[in-house]
Amino acid sequence: MKVLIVANYNTGSFSPFVIEQVEAIKKLNVEFDFFGVEGKGIKGYLSNLGKLKKKINTFKPDIIHAHYGLTGLLANLQRKVPVITTFHGSDINKGGIISFFSRISIRMSKHNIFVSPLLLKKSAYHGKNVSVIPCGIDVSLFQPSDKKVAREALGWDEDSKYVLFSGSFDNAVKNPELAKAGIEALRHHYTQYSDNLHFVELKGYTRQQIATLLNAADCTLMTSYTEGSPQIIKEAIACGCPTVSVEVGDVANTTKGVEGCYIVQRTADDIASGISRVLDSNKRVNGLGRLLELELSNEQIAKRIVEIYHKTQKRVFVK
């Protein structure tokens, strides 16, 4: 089977979770090629249609797997090859014109994958050609390692406390203002952390460096307005890093039963309280078992996606 991945390429690279998913599926005898979408907004995306058709004529895929709603819309403007679209969150959660066109993509796609039940519910789609499949994680990379060694690799102080933010401070969707307010409340109300607490922005790191960060940090904090199925939470608990998060995306379900992970209210004081509980306990969490229970390794997710590839191809062939 030949599958063409269609995904955003505006940064000069594909998202890590797309690459990692493809690498896992390749092991199941699926041949892949990529088409990178460059451009912004509806017009920017649709300007790629001619190039996409040329790629299809050259590669001759059996299936197109598009990531995100606008990309799915672009892929569906050709009707030669069946399209499977994965919706990751921002395509449905943003609302407005992006959400409008993403919903058109849902109607046009042969099969739709939503990364969380909440995202599917928000899409208001009730068709049968749908699956809920989060993105998996690389459990060979994201796994517990020695905290002291990880800190030495990063040049971090052994005796200080480090809280890792779930994204970059300039990403408004991640709600960094609330996160920073929570950190300030922590310093104010829990004075033992006033002078030795570091709040670290997750920006500009390689995948290997992120794994090191998660093994070195005391806590990972998420305060996002919206999420689909955030990778950083899955990766954090896989590395044994406790998490404090507002209720968003599928975080509550992902961390359910993982002792040392907390869902908090969207207030600075409640965030501070949650982080203080983590820092006071000074314990790592056992989250890898929960991820495997949820079948969230890349290998487990790959098998489910390949099943959809084959079922979609079969339906098209029968017609």
What confidence tens digit (pLDDT) does each residue in 208-262 have?
999 999 999 999 999 999 999 999 999 999 999 999 999 999 999 999 999 999 9
pLDDT, position 315:
65
Low-confidence ranges of the chain (pLDDT < 70): 315-319
CA-wise closest residue to 165 among 200, 120, 133, 138: 200
pLDDT, position 219:
98
Within the chain, all domains assigned CATH 3.40.50.2000 are found at 2-136+297-318, 147-293
Backbone Cα Rg of the chain: 21
Question: What is the pTM (predicted TM-score) of this model?
Answer: 0.91
Q: Is the dihedral of CA 223, 225, 229, 230 positive or negative?
A: negative
pLDDT, position 319:
46
DSSP per-residue letters across the chain = -EEEEEEE-TTSS--HHHHHHHHHHHTTT-EEEEEEE--SHHHHHHTTHHHHHHHHHHH--SEEEEESHHHHHHHHTS-SS-EEEEE-SHHHHT-HHHHHHHHHHHHHSSEEEESSHHHHHHHT---SSEEE----B-TTTSS---HHHHHHHHT--TTSEEEEESS-TT-GGG-HHHHHHHHHHHHHH-GGGSSSEEEE---S--HHHHHHHHHH-SEEEE--S--SS-HHHHHHHHTT--EEEES-TTHHHHTTT-TT-EEE-SSHHHHHHHHHHHHHHT-----HHHHHHTT-BHHHHHHHHHHHHHHHHHHHHH-
**Homologous superfamily of the 2-136+297-318 domain (CATH):** Glycogen Phosphorylase B; (3.40.50.2000)
pLDDT, position 256:
96
* Each residue's pLDDT tens digit, 94-130: 778 989 999 999 999 999 999 999 999 999 999 999 9
- Which CATH code of 1.10.3720.10, 3.40.50.2000, 3.30.428.10, 3.40.50.720 fits the domain covering 147-293? 3.40.50.2000
The one-letter code for the residue type at 91 is D
Q: How far is residue 258 from each of residues 184, 236, 294, 299, measured CA to CA in Å? A: 26, 12, 12, 22
